[in-house]
Structures are given as C-alpha cells and as structure tokens.
C-alpha cells in the first residue's frame, strides 16, 4: 500500500521554500495585472463622464457626476417622449389608412357582388 503522505509536494524536486517565492511572484504579477485593468476601467469611466459633461455642461461649468447623469437622463427621457409622440401620430395615420382601405375594399366587394347578382337576374 502506498502512503501518499510521503510524496514530496514541491514542484520539480525543488525545496518548498523556492516554490513560495514563485507563488509570491505569481501573486504580485496577478495583482499588478488586476491593478492595471482596474486603472484602465476607472480611466474609461472618467472619459465617459467627461464626454457626457461636454454634452450637458453650459459655458464650461463644472458638474458633479450625479448632476451629469441626472441631466443626461432627463435629456434621454425627453428624446424618448418625443419619439413616442411621433410614433403615436404615425400609428393613428396608419390606422386611418387601413380603415379607409378596408372601407374601399368592402365597397368594391359589394359592387362586385351586386354586379354578379344583376348579371344572373338578367
């Protein structure tokens, strides 16, 4: 029977202490990568706020992030309401056209039926 507790856990026959240094280096490298990614993410968010601020700020005034978001939200809501009104008007126009087309079709069908009836009666 093989006792697995006697197996050397160190990597490639190296002493356990050299494995610890490698682990520290790997952790430092992973932390550095994470920090770089986080810094890029924060820079990207700052740039997006700057872009939004340029759209909503008047006369170069400095706005808080909350004010920037609130202003942009209100502008977007106004755009969507305007779009909704335009689409509602277009829907009403299309419904009126549909009703007119159905009415015209019904009149054409009625006329056609009357002509057939009159033709059979003769």
Is residue 29 domain-resident? yes
Say if residue 68 is exposed, middle or buried (CB neighbours under 10 Å; 0-12, 13-18, 19+).
Answer: buried
Computed from CA positions of residues 52, 55, 57, 62, in that sequence, does the dihedral angle turn out positive or negative?
positive
- The tally of domains found in the chain comes to 2
Find the angle CA(8)-CA(9)-CA(14) to the nearest 5 degrees.
80
In 3D space, the residue among 21, 75, 14, 28 whose CA is nearest the CA of residue 67 turns out to be 75
Cβ atoms of 70 and 49 closer than 8 Å? no
Is residue 22 domain-resident? yes
Is residue 68 domain-resident? no
Is residue 74 domain-resident? no
Is residue 53 domain-resident? yes
Is residue 35 domain-resident? yes
Per-residue pLDDT of the chain in tens (122 residues, 90 and over written 9): 445 444 444 444 444 444 567 789 999 999 999 999 999 999 999 999 999 888 888 877 888 999 999 999 999 999 999 999 999 999 999 999 998 888 888 787 788 887 777 776 65
Confidence (pTM): 0.54
Is residue 109 domain-resident? yes
Domain that holds residue 43: 17-63
Annotate 32-87 with DSSP letters as a single string: HHHHHHHHHHHHHHHHHHHHHHHHH-STT----HHHHHHHHHHHHHHHHHHHHHHH
Is residue 76 domain-resident? no
Cβ atoms of 68 and 49 closer than 8 Å? yes
Tell me, yes or no, whether 85 and 48 share the same domain.
no
């Amino acid at each position: 029977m093989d006792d697995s507790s006697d197996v050397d856990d160190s990597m490639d026959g190296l002493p356990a202490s050299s494995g610890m240094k490698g682990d520290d280096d790997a952790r430092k490298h992973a932390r550095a990568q994470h920090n770089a990614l986080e810094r890029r993410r924060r820079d990207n968010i700052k740039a997006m706020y700057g872009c939004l601020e340029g759209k909503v700020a008047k006369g170069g005034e400095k706005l808080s992030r909350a004010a920037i978001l609130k202003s942009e939200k209100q502008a977007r809501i106004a755009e969507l309401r305007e779009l909704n009104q335009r689409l509602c008007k277009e829907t009403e126009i299309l419904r009126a056209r549909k009703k007119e087309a159905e009415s015209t079709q019904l009149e054409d069908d009625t006329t056609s039926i009357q002509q057939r009836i009159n033709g059979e009666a003769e």
